[in-house]
């Protein structure tokens, strides 16, 4: 494990985080920091626990019966994995976007306004502003501004995914979790989403799970390589991709393994 | 190995036999359905073609006295009766079914489903005469003792029917809820929505067409149910003025009258006309289900 993982205590980091499905340990005691204004890529072969790890960060695994999470997830000095955490409030701080675009069966406008409405934003004007700014941040505004009342399902796959990112941004999160956000998209849409990720990191931290090595190299600042539920290597992306410490990491990145 | 071969091989014969058998079954099925529809329609129309009754007199006439010296065949009380009990039953059963389905799929997917699934299958399997019997010995006395009227009537019929269509709506709704993509719910949770907000604003609106399909299927069942309703509704040939008054439905009049009329008589033909109305209504229900399914795909 990279030594830098626990050396500096970040305001957002995991500490000895283990996740069980029943008795099966899917994630084994992982400590990872997520620095401000950075993109951290989680890579590794399928089933290595990276998605499970990502889902634990906003307590999404709570929704899966039989899963238990041990260890700590620190955000601004608070362990959000401890009991008594207000999961609803927590999830406003941590947005999430999935592999398959999953807009609600509502209009484009209502997709974005959905979250803010529940967090006390009142009045059409305030909502209008949030919708516009979220769509602008997701670089979708110009494409949809004339048809905000249209069904979100009428958008293309790439647009839907950017809509989902805009929806996640609508509640003003500090952290954005992306679970293979571009793997179901064509190269042009993928490029747009990657562009977007680079811009968004100016405002928040991003944790991204990806199977695309080039993508990880292109957009991330830090890379963590997972294998069989354990963290094999964690370091600056440049370092991991040019001069990895671990033989396994190198082989995976070169495509000889996994 | 020669691939071009004019000889008839075993697999050719298998294929031929299989296809012939399937085609035969399908043709038989289509023939049966078409002849049934034709039979009911021709018998049903004969009331009007024989000149005994006009279509408007039949559909909107309120006087039903088939055995009188100057018989009149106004089926309006039965048509209203059928619609009334069906709508009421759907009104009672729909919210209950939706809640049961949500409980099974969203609230307690583990033991909730294990417990409710067999209960609902059991409810669907109970013969209608048993429902009618229970209605007659439990619901009717209860209504008689606690509310105005004799107990038998529209309310009793609607209550019995609502229990009967509960499993239909519940299972269709539960299937629809279970087939929702998991991450659709999760993306609502990820925005900080509560479970209630997720259910009411994401899950129900998304599955709404499918839930409506279940309700329409339930209504179709209620509309066509004869025996259980006939046992508790009282079978008076009048348009009911209150829910606790005795009334009749199309089905109950047919089952009661069919055995006492001679084939070809005006009375018998009028019953066939009612059967035709029932069949047409079934088509309407099927049409609605198709429409909803198409909307569901978008």
Q: Domain of A188: which CATH number?
A: 3.40.50.300
Query: Would you say residue A163 lies in a domain?
Result: yes
Structure tokens at A105: 């069966």
- Evaluate if residue B41 carries a pLDDT over 80: yes
Structure tokens at B183: 């991450």
Query: Would you say residue A7 lies in a domain?
Result: no
pLDDT at res. A3: 41
What is the pTM (predicted TM-score) of this model?
A: 0.82
- Evaluate if residue B250 carries a pLDDT over 80: yes
Instruction: Please check whether residue B108 touches A, CB under 8 A.
Output: no
Higher confidence at residue B293 or residue A89? A89
123-162 in chain A: CB under 8 A from chain B: 151, 153
Phi/psi of residue B226, nearest 5 degrees: -115, -55
Query: Residue B23 CB: number of other CB atoms within 10 A?
Result: 10
* Cβ–Cβ below 8 Å for A95 and B194: no
| Per-residue confidence in pLDDT tens, chain A, 258 aa | 444 444 455 689 999 999 999 899 999 999 999 999 999 999 999 889 999 999 999 999 888 878 899 999 999 888 999 888 899 889 989 999 999 999 999 999 999 999 999 888 888 999 999 999 999 999 899 999 999 999 999 999 999 999 999 999 999 999 999 999 998 888 888 998 999 999 999 989 999 999 999 999 999 999 999 999 999 999 999 999 999 998 889 989 888 765
* SS3 label, residue B123: helix
* Cβ–Cβ below 8 Å for B191 and A106: no
Euclidean distance between CA atoms B202 and A139, whole angstroms: 25
pLDDT at res. A63: 81
Euclidean distance between CA atoms A113 and B107, whole angstroms: 26
Cα–Cα distance list, B155 to B79, B128, B235 (Å): 16, 17, 13
A71, A17 Cβ separation under 8 angstroms: yes
Query: Would you say residue A1 lies in a domain?
Result: no
* Cβ–Cβ below 8 Å for A164 and B187: yes
B220, B164 Cβ separation under 8 angstroms: no
Find the mean pLDDT for residues B40-56: 87
- Evaluate if residue B292 carries a pLDDT over 50: yes
Query: Would you say residue A142 lies in a domain?
Result: yes
* Cβ–Cβ below 8 Å for A95 and B185: no
Q: What share of chain B is helix, strand, coil (3-state, %, to 5)?
A: 75, 0, 25
Residue A94 is part of which domain span? 12-254
Q: Percentage of chain B surpassing pLDDT 90? A: 56
**Nearest residue in B to A102, CA atom:** B184
Structure tokens at B55: 């279509």
Residues forming beta bridges with residue A230, ordered by sequence position: A227
**CA–CA min distance A172, chain B (Å):** 10
- Evaluate if residue B51 carries a pLDDT over 80: no
Query: Would you say residue A31 lies in a domain?
Result: yes
* Cβ–Cβ below 8 Å for B191 and A115: yes
Q: Model confidence over A25-53: pLDDT tens digits? A: 999 999 999 999 999 999 999 889 999 99
174-233 in chain B: CB under 8 A from chain A: 181, 183-194, 197, 201-202, 205-206
Euclidean distance between CA atoms A57 and A37, whole angstroms: 17
Q: In Å, how far from its chain's centre is CA B221? A: 2
* Partners of residue B185 in chain A, C-beta under 8 Å: 63
Find the mean pLDDT for residues B86-103: 95
Q: Model confidence over B152-165: pLDDT tens digits? A: 889 999 999 999 99
Q: Which of A98, A79, A99, A101 is nearest to A90 (CA)?
A: A79
* SS3 label, residue A10: coil
pLDDT at res. A65: 79
* Partners of residue B209 in chain A, C-beta under 8 Å: none
Cα–Cα distance list, B222 to B54, B63, B168, B270 (Å): 28, 25, 10, 22
pLDDT at res. B196: 92
How many structural domains comprise chain A? 1
- Evaluate if residue B298 carries a pLDDT over 60: no
Higher confidence at residue A257 or residue B53? B53
Cα–Cα distance list, A134 to A22, A55, A116, A157, A161 (Å): 39, 23, 11, 18, 13
């Amino acid at each position: 494990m990279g030594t830098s993982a626990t050396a500096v205590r970040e305001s957002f980091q995991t500490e000895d985080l283990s996740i069980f499905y029943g008795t099966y340990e899917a994630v084994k005691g992982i400590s990872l920091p997520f620095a401000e204004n950075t993109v951290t890529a989680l890579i590794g072969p399928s089933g290595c626990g990276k998605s499970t790890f990502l889902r634990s960060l906003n307590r999404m695994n709570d929704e899966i019966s039989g899963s238990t999470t041990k260890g700590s997830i620190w955000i601004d000095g608070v362990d959000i994995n401890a009991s008594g955490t207000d999961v609803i409030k927590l999830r406003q701080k941590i947005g999430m976007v999935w592999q398959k675009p999953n807009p609600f069966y509502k209009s484009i406008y209502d997709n974005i306004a959905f979250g803010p409405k529940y967090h006390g934003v009142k009045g059409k004007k305030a909502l209008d502003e949030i919708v516009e700014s979220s769509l602008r941040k997701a670089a979708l505004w110009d494409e949809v501004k004339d048809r905000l009342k249209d069904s979100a399902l009428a958008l293309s796959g790439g647009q839907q995914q950017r809509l989902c990112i805009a929806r996640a941004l609508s509640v003003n999160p500090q952290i954005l979790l992306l679970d293979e956000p571009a793997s179901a998209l064509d190269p042009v849409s993928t490029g747009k989403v990657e562009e977007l990720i680079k811009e968004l990191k100016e405002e928040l931290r991003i944790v991204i799970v990806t199977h695309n090595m080039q993508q990880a190299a292109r957009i991330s600042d830090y890379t963590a390589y997972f294998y069989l539920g354990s963290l094999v290597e964690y370091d600056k992306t440049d370092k991991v991709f040019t001069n990895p410490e671990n033989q396994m990491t190198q082989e995976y990145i070169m495509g000889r393994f996994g | 190995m020669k691939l071009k071969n004019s000889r008839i091989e075993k697999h050719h014969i298998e294929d031929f036999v299989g296809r012939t058998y399937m085609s035969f079954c399908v043709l038989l099925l289509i023939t049966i359905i078409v002849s049934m529809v034709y039979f009911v329609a021709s018998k049903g129309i004969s009331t009007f073609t024989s000149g005994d009754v006009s279509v408007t007199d039949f559909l909107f006439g309120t006087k039903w006295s088939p055995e009188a010296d100057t018989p009149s065949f106004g089926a309006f009380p039965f048509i209203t009766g059928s619609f009334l009990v069906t709508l009421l039953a759907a009104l009672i059963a729909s919210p209950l079914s939706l809640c049961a389905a949500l409980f099974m799929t969203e609230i307690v997917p583990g033991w909730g489903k294990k417990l409710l699934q067999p209960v609902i299958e059991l409810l669907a399997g109970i013969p209608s005469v048993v429902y009618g019997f229970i209605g007659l010995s439990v619901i009717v006395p209860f209504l008689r003792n606690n509310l105005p009227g004799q107990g038998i009537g529209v309310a009793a019929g609607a209550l019995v029917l609502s229990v009967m269509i509960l499993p239909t709506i519940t299972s269709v709704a539960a299937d629809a809820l279970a087939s929702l993509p998991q991450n659709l719910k999760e993306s609502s949770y990820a925005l900080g929505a509560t479970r209630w907000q997720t259910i009411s604003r994401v899950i129900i609106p998304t599955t709404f067409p499918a839930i409506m399909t279940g309700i329409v299927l339930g209504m179709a069942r209620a509309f066509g149910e004869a025996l259980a309703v006939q046992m508790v509704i009282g079978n008076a040939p009048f348009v009911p003025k209150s829910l606790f008054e005795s009334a009749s439905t199309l089905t109950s009049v047919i089952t009661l009258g069919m055995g006492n009329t001679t084939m070809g008589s005006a009375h018998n033909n009028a019953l066939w006309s009612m059967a035709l109305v029932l069949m047409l209504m079934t088509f309407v229900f099927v049409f609605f289900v198709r429409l909803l399914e198409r909307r569901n795909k978008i």
